[in-house]
Amino acid sequence: MPQQDRQPDPIRSGAIAEPAEGEPNSPDVGSVGRVSFLVEPPDAQVAVGNGVLRAVNAAEEKAETGLAATFPVGHHLAEVSRPGYVPTLAGFTVAEGEEVEIAVTLKRVNAAVRLRTAPSGATILIDGFVRGRTEGMAESGFDPAEAAVSTPRGSFSRALWIGDLATGSHRLEIRKDGFRTYRASLNVTDVRDYELSPVVLEAQRAFLLLKGLPDDAKVYANGVELRPDREKLMPEASVAPGRVDLVVARGVHAYFEASVEVEDGAWLEVPVELRPALAYLGVFGEDAAGLRAVSSVLEVLRQEGTYIVLNREREGAAAFDDLAIRPSTLRDRTAAKTNVDWNAVQARVEDQVPAALYLAAVLSDDLVANTVDLWWWSAAPGPSRPDVLTIDIPNGRIGSGTRRRLARSVNPGLEAGQKAPRLGAVLIESLKGETLVVATADTDGPAAAAGLRPGMEVVEVNGEAASSILQVSEALASLRPGGVIELAIGGADGPVTLAVEPEWGWTGIDVFAPDLMSSVAAAHLFREIERQGDVPRWLLELDLASLLLAADDASGAVRLLETISAPDRDGLGRGSVQYALGLAMSDLAAAGHEEYRLRAQQVFRALGSARQGRIEADGGPSAPARARLRLAAADGE
């Protein structure tokens, strides 16, 4: 704030003094005397022993100047003081029942300044020296004026007197942490009292420009939620200057954090890049080399960039301790997967550390660890049963091949929600070789539309002699939407080439792929659901339910499947959801929950009579046909 050259205003109000709160004024008659003090100036403070007779501001120009109190008999010493005056001591003796009058006139030697601040608790410096600190709250009669009128009265401090000011120019500074320093010049022309207008301190402020901030994301600075101005072209948030630990969260699976330094009054642009959070919950084991290896694992995960890695060792240690999970518990992997209540683990850590994916490391030995088991599990409603990835750490080091494997494990390139080409025909290899035979052709499929019929022999695939089904699979895999596959059909007059343009339909993930970690796949699905991209939400939820079913969490799968609203279509859709629901209910019935057996049969019976529905992909096996097989098996039990 620029320097202000200001002339303080003289005080024009009088004062009336009264006994301080707690001062005895009605003792037993005959044991005390009464003393009246006539002091000049009238608002001087009178202190006797440990008691202080305080001055109180008066509204009138002319006020009574008397100050009286009762005192025990005996000799007393009063100190009369007032800023700008020489303090004076006055001795007096009180006889029983006597009334004594004491007159004291102080000698003025300096000017005095009275001021208030909003807020209270500000340090006052004059000419570089600390001269006091504002305290408390303004008296009930105080009325803010001028520039201070818009500030609530309760924000102002009590009046602070500063005496011993010589005539001349002085530098005034008012300081308080979190506020801009107030500076002004005080011109003292006469030896008298001056009163400054109330000083309202300005809070220190810096501004963050949050580039790419989603509309529904929450923003926190140093643990306090901010309310960014989203009406601006780039959302803007006001913060206190200094180090700002910034966190942006969208839901519980999209996360961003950064630490920035910003100066008072500055504007700092912060690009917000939301990613799912991976919470590292610590390591079981004490081997120093193994601990270094785990640190390098975390570094690989950070460099890989799919997740924001949050170090939450303290929270993890508390959770595992509460659940009585020890290193020996997890080193027996087979027993741990069965005996540990992973639902409780999932709920406990998610309550303390919201994240999409969780990781705990277990060294193979406390003294010399040759391997480390990485235990992964996802947030609910993903599978709670963990995946375990074992990596070798010879001499506490991780090789480049292991690093690549680790990176692929956390970012497997899932095909959830991808569209795949559908030929609409089943080709098989001919027993006589050198040709492929059309086994079936869907009447409404693209192959039939191109002229393919059951029994035809395919002699060439894209101009090359037909030899195996693999050629057709590779040709389809290389296609893009709008592309065609050329199939040459043998005949008496020579081959005839048919151009088949496949249909493109949805496909789900293969939950039984040998290298798939269900926890990572679930975290991937969470991100896609919250991203609200082109992939239908129902398909992502169906994939998530399939992961639950594969992880033996049939009850969780049922809860999710019953909420999915999928389209009624020939390909992957409502039929797929209903088929998965029947499977989940059958698993619950097999586990002893008999109330689900009839419900599963009802689902399969309704699905078996339907026309639509595919399993896993638009070109996959028919859900109604599979449902009829399931129903027949159930009826035969």
228, 235 contact by CB (below 8 A): yes
- What average pLDDT is seen over the chain? 86
* Arithmetic mean of pLDDT, 61-76: 71
Residue 63 is predicted with a pLDDT of 37
* Arithmetic mean of pLDDT, 127-137: 94
CB pairs under 8 A, 24+ apart, for 246-249? 246/208, 246/219, 246/220, 246/221, 246/270, 247/219, 247/220, 247/221, 248/210, 248/213, 248/217, 248/218, 248/219, 248/220, 248/272, 248/274, 249/217, 249/218, 249/220, 249/354
pLDDT at 20 over 70: no
Decide if domain 277-410 falls under CATH 3.90.180.
no
pLDDT band (50, 70, 90) for residue 474: confident
pLDDT band (50, 70, 90) for residue 636: low
Tell me the domain boundaries of the chain. 9-108, 111-200, 206-271, 277-410, 419-506, 518-635
pLDDT at 61 over 80: no
- Which pair of tokens denotes residue 127? 């000419």
Please report where in the chains the tokens 């963990």 appear, as a residue.
386
φ and ψ of 61, to 5 deg: -65, -40
pLDDT band (50, 70, 90) for residue 25: very low
Decide if domain 206-271 falls under CATH 3.40.1350.10.
no
Q: What does pTM read for this prediction?
A: 0.66
| Strand pairing class (168-175; 182-188) | antiparallel
Q: Point out the least confidently predicted range of 199-213, 350-364, 492-506, 613-627.
A: 613-627
pLDDT at 266 over 90: yes
148, 118 contact by CB (below 8 A): yes
Q: How far apart are CA 120 and CA 97, in angstroms?
A: 45
Residue 60 is predicted with a pLDDT of 34
Q: Which CATH superfamily is domain 111-200 in?
A: Carboxypeptidase-like, regulatory domain (2.60.40.1120)
Q: Which CATH superfamily is domain 9-108 in?
A: Carboxypeptidase-like, regulatory domain (2.60.40.1120)
Closest residue by Cα to residue 345 from 370, 319, 327: 319
pLDDT at 17 over 70: no
Same fold, 9-108 and 111-200: yes
Fold of 419-506: Pdz3 Domain (2.30.42)
Within 13 Å, how many C-alpha atoms sit on residue 196's CB side?
26
